[in-house]
Amino acid sequence: MPYPPGGSTDMLARIVGQKLGERLRQPVVVENKAGAGGNVGTDYVAKQPADGYTIVMGNIGPIAINPSLYPDLPYSPLRDLAPVTMLMAVPNLLVVNPALPVHSVQELVDYGKRQPAPLSYATPGAGTSLHLAGELFATTAGLRLTHVPYKGSAPGLNDTMAGHVPLMFDNMPSALPLVKAGKLRALAITSAQRSPQLPDVPTMAEAGLRGYEIAGWFGVLVPAATPRPIVARLDAELQAVLNLPDVRRKLEEMGGIVSGAGPQPFGRYIEAEARKWGTLVHSANITIQ
């Protein structure tokens, strides 16, 4: 788990890991190795023995975005890791502290432009889809923002709720409970369609930012040299876990869209995502600060 406890990736890892352990009849331990936007834990797994006993919960950041953001990335997702199963995709939310005097994206933009200094926005880390969501928002809205990366969603959400940072971009699974509890205010969702979990929250496009769409995703990968029979076994067991009614219900309640794409389609999806985000990073001149 290349992120700290408490975020969307960690929540998914623990839900799936428990059921995977039950099916394999041996413990599945979720080990948090956070740092550098998911790079530390992902690099760790890429260099482990290719025996199927060390797997990584990958997501869009360290697998598709970071190769374009970090010039000295110590691993290559396409060369050093083999895709197993894509688990789910999730939209992101733009949330603010409830004390902030804004109730829409346009009000936030107007408020930000009146401030003498750029507004700060929190994310679970540099290079995540949430980082790029903020950069794209700033560029599209013509608004100055200062990126404040945290080592995972939980500390960023805590500081946003406490008012230390006025706004945040986060994956829906970790932000949704706090929105429903009134501890955060959701202004927009970054997907093309509204979510059934938050039907009154508009999309970014509906809020005035036409063409704005960013979604995160999660999947399991192993070291590249892992034998194909092991990859096939892990994929089959993960597919079975995703088809369990209680697991599917939990993921959908988190705002996730269950996938289940196997090694080949998941691999093609990763390649397409790497091209897409590489183009955005370079065209927008986005860098790690």
Give a yes or no: residue 210 inside a domain. Answer: no
Per-residue pLDDT of 270-288, as tens digits, reads 999 999 888 878 876 776 6
Q: What's the pLDDT at 131?
A: 87
Taking alpha carbons only, the member of 99, 98, 89 closest to residue 179 is 98
pTM assigned to the model: 0.81
Taking alpha carbons only, the member of 222, 217, 228, 221 closest to residue 259 is 217
Give a yes or no: residue 274 inside a domain. Answer: yes
Tell me which residue range forms the domain holding 82: 8-89+216-283
What count of Cα atoms within 13 Å lies in the side-chain half-sphere of residue 11?
23
Per-residue pLDDT of 15-57, as tens digits, reads 999 999 999 999 999 999 998 889 999 999 999 999 999 999 9
Q: For the ranges 76-85, 128-137, 200-209, which has the lowest average pLDDT?
A: 128-137
99 and 182 co-located in one domain = yes
Q: What's the pLDDT at 289?
A: 54
| Burial 154-187, CB ≥16 within 10 A → b, else e | bebbbbbbeeebbbbbbbbbbbbebbeeebbbbb
Given pLDDT bands bounded at 50, 70 and 90, which one contains residue 245? Answer: very high
65 has a pLDDT exceeding 80:
yes
- Distant-in-sequence, close-in-space partners of 98: CB < 8 Å, separation ≥ 6: 182, 183, 184, 185
55 and 143 co-located in one domain = no
Give a yes or no: residue 19 inside a domain. Answer: yes
Per-residue pLDDT of 143-193, as tens digits, reads 999 999 998 889 999 999 999 999 999 988 889 999 999 999 999 999 888
Query: How do 81-96 and 167-171 pair as beta strands?
Result: antiparallel
241 and 222 co-located in one domain = yes
Average pLDDT rounded to a whole number, residues 227-250: 97
Give a yes or no: residue 261 inside a domain. Answer: yes
Q: Which of 189, 224, 254 is the last residue of a domain?
A: 189
Amino acid at 18: Q
Query: Which three-class secondary structure string do you get for the chain?
Result: CCCCCCCHHHHHHHHHHHHHHHHHCCCCCCCCCCCHHHHHHHHHHHCCCCCCCCCEEEEHHHHHHHHHHCCCCCCCHHHHEEEEEEEEEEEEEEEECCCCCCCCHHHHHHHHHHCCCCEEEEECCCCCHHHHHHHHHHHHHCCCEEEEECCCHHHHHHHHHHCCCCEEEEEHHHHHHHHHCCCCEEEEECCCCCECCECCCCECCCCCCCCCCCEEEEEEEEECCCCHHHHHHHHHHHHHHHCCHHHHHHHHHCCCEECCCCHHHHHHHHHHHHHHHHHHHHHCCCCCC
Average pLDDT rounded to a whole number, residues 199-224: 93
Give a yes or no: residue 115 inside a domain. Answer: yes
Give a yes or no: residue 183 inside a domain. Answer: yes
Nearest 5°: CA angle at 255, between 266 and 245?
Answer: 75
131 and 163 co-located in one domain = yes
Amino acid at 267: G
Q: Are 253 and 225 in contact (CB under 8 A)?
A: no
151 and 70 co-located in one domain = no
- How far apart (Å, rounded) are the C-alpha atoms in residues 42 and 217? 15
Give a yes or no: residue 75 inside a domain. Answer: yes
Q: For the ranges 76-90, 103-117, 119-133, 136-150, which has the lowest average pLDDT?
A: 119-133
95 has a pLDDT exceeding 80:
yes
Taking alpha carbons only, the member of 98, 78, 90 closest to residue 8 is 90
What count of Cα atoms within 13 Å lies in the side-chain half-sphere of residue 8?
39
Q: What's the pLDDT at 189?
A: 95
Q: Are 146 and 120 in contact (CB under 8 A)?
A: yes
99 and 154 co-located in one domain = yes
Average pLDDT rounded to a whole number, residues 114-118: 96
- How far apart (Å, rounded) are the C-alpha atoms in residues 47 and 156? 29
Given pLDDT bands bounded at 50, 70 and 90, which one contains residue 69? Answer: confident
Taking alpha carbons only, the member of 145, 121, 159, 207 closest to residue 6 is 159
Give a yes or no: residue 205 inside a domain. Answer: no
Q: What's the pLDDT at 27?
A: 95
Which CATH number covers residue 85? Answer: 3.40.190.150
Q: How many domains does the chain have?
A: 2
Which CATH number covers residue 185? Answer: 3.40.190.10
